[in-house]
C-alpha cells in the first residue's frame, strides 16, 4: 500500500509515517524492522545512541528492498558533537548500517551549555549534505531559542525537528517555531509512549476517555486516532512497536478523517507536562555515553 509523503524544505520527500526503534533491543530489532518493512513502512528512525543501527541495516538488507526504497534516518549523540567528531560519527553510523549514504541525519539534542560544540556538529552535517553523503539534515529536541541560535550561526535550515508531541504534550511554541522556519515537525512518542511510565491522573494516552470516544466513533483504536491527529495537522510520525499486530495497526491510518471538532478535542488534552528530558538541561556530564566504532 502506498501512503502519502511530506515534502521537506529541500524538496526531498519522506513518508507520512515512519517506524521508530528506540528501546528495541538489538536482538529483537531485525525481526521487528523486517515486520515493519513487510507491512509497508519505508522509513526507519534509529539513532547512534539506540545501539541497534547494525540490526536496522541488517533488516533492510535482508528485506531485499532496493536501498533507495527505504528512507533511513539516524541521529548523532551529544558525546560525538564537534565538527571532526561528528564527521567521524557519520562514518560510525553508516558503517553499522552498512550503507554509503543516509536519507536524514539529525543532531539528537542541543547542548545548550556547550552551544559551540552543537554548532560544530551541525556544520559537519552541512558538510556531509554538501558532499552528497546525506540527502537532508536536521535536529531533534531543539526548542525555539536553540533554533534561533543555530539559524544565526549556520547556513542550511534544518529539514526536520524531531520533538516530543502527543495529546498530553503538544508544545505549541516549538511547533510554531518549526513552521515559521519551514522545518517539518516530526513527532516522537506520537501515541504518548513516554506517558506510559508516569504516575498520576494522565497515566496513558491510550486509556484517555476522550480519545477512546473518538476512536469508537470511527471504529479505530486510540493509537490510530492519535497518529491521524498528527498527520492531519501536518506532523510526520514515527511510532514504535515490537508487536506485529500493533505495527500493522499503526500503519492503517489512511482510511478515515478526524473532524475539526475531534482535532480540537484532542488539542484540548494538552497538559503541558513534558515526559522526556528538559532540553535546556541536557549536558554531556549527565547524558554522555560512548558510541562504539562501527
Ligand atoms: P510511542 O509513542 O511510539 O509508543 C511506543 C510504546 O507504545 C511501546 O511501549 C509500544 O509497545 C506501545 N504501542 C505501540 N503501538 C501500540 C498500539 N497500537 N497499541 C498499544 N500500544 C502500542 O513512543 P516511543 O517513545 O517509542 O517513540 C517513538 C519513536 O520516536 C522512538 O522509537 C524513536 O524512534 C523516537 N524517539 C525519539 C526521541 C528523541 O529524543 N529524539 C525520544 C523518544 C523516542 P510494544 O513495542 O511492546 O508493542
For the chain, which residues make up each domain, given as ranges?
5-287
DSSP string spanning 154-175?
A: -SSPPSEEEEE-BTTB--HHHH
Which residues lie below 8 Å from residue 145, measured CB to CB, with a gap of 6+? Answer: none
Q: Per-residue pLDDT averaged across 269-281, rounded?
A: 95
pLDDT tens, position by position, 211-232: 999 999 999 999 999 999 999 9
Three cell numbers written together for 11: 524538496
Q: Classify domain 5-287 by CATH architecture.
A: Alpha-Beta Barrel (3.20)
Closest CA to 214 of 266, 165, 169: 266
> Percent of the chain, pLDDT > 70?
98
Determine the distance separating the centroid of ligand 1 and the alpha carbon of 192, expressed in angstroms: 7
Q: Based on the number of CB atoms within 10 Å of its own CB, is 230 exposed (0-12), middle (13-18) or buried (19 or more)?
A: buried
SS3 17: strand
Three cell numbers written together for 187: 513527532
Is the pTM above the cut of 0.75?
yes
pLDDT tens, position by position, 57-73: 999 999 999 999 999 99
Q: Which residues line ligand 1 (CB under 6 A)?
A: 20-22, 45, 108, 140-141, 162, 188-194, 206, 221, 223, 238-243, 246, 249-250, 276
Question: Considering only CA atoms, which residue is closest to atom 30 of ligand 1?
Answer: 188
Query: Distance between CA atoms of 1 and 199, rounded to whole angstroms?
Result: 39
Catalytic residue list: 50
Determine the distance separating the centroid of ligand 1 and the alpha carbon of 238, expressed in angstroms: 8
Amino acid at each position: 500500500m502506498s501512503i502519502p509523503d511530506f515534502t521537506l524544505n529541500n524538496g526531498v520527500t519522506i513518508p507520512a509515517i515512519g517506524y521508530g526503534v528506540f528501546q528495541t533491543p538489538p536482538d529483537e530489532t531485525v525481526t521487528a524492522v523486517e515486520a515493519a518493512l513487510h507491512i509497508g513502512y519505508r522509513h526507519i528512525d534509529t539513532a547512534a545512541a539506540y545501539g541497534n543501527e547494525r540490526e536496522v541495516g541488517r533488516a533492510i538488507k535482508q528485506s531485499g528492498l532496493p536501498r533507495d526504497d527505504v528512507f533511513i534516518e539516524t541521529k548523532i549523540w551529544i558525546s560525538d558533537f564537534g565538527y571532526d567528531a561528528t564527521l567521524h560519527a557519520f562514518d560510525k553510523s553508516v558503517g553499522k548500517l552498512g550503507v554509503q549514504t543516509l536519507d536524514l541525519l539529525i543532531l539528537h539534542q542541543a547542548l545548550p551549555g556547550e552551544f559551540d560544540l552543537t554548532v560544530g556538529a551541525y556544520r559537519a552535517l552541512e558538510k556531509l549534505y554538501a558532499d552528497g553523503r546525506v540527502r537532508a539534515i536536521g535536529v531533534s529536541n531543539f526548542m525555539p531559542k536553540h533554533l534561533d541560535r543555530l539559524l544565526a550561526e549556520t547556513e542550511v535550515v534544518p529539514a526536520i525537528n524531531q520533538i516530543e508531541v502527543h495529546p498530553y504534550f503538544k508544545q505549541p511554541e516549538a511547533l510554531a517555531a518549526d513552521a515559521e522556519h519551514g522545518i517539518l515537525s516530526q513527532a516522537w512518542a506520537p501515541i504518548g509512549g513516554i506517558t506510559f511510565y508516569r504516575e498520576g491522573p494522565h497515566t496513558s494516552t491510550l486509556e484517555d476517555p476522550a480519545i477512546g470516544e473518538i476512536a469508537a466513533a470511527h471504529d479505530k483504536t486510540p493509537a490510530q486516532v492519535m497518529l491521524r491527529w498528527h498527520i492531519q495537522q501536518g506532523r510526520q510520525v514515527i511510532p514504535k512497536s515490537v508487536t506485529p499486530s500493533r505495527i500493522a495497526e499503526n500503519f492503517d491510518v489512511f482510511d478515515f478523517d478526524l473532524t475539526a471538532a475531534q482535532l480540537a478535542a484532542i488539542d484540548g488534552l494538552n497538559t503541558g507536562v513534558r515526559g522526556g528530558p528538559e532540553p535546556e538541561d541536557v549536558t554531556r556530564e549527565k547524558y554522555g555515553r560512548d558510541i562504539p566504532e562501527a
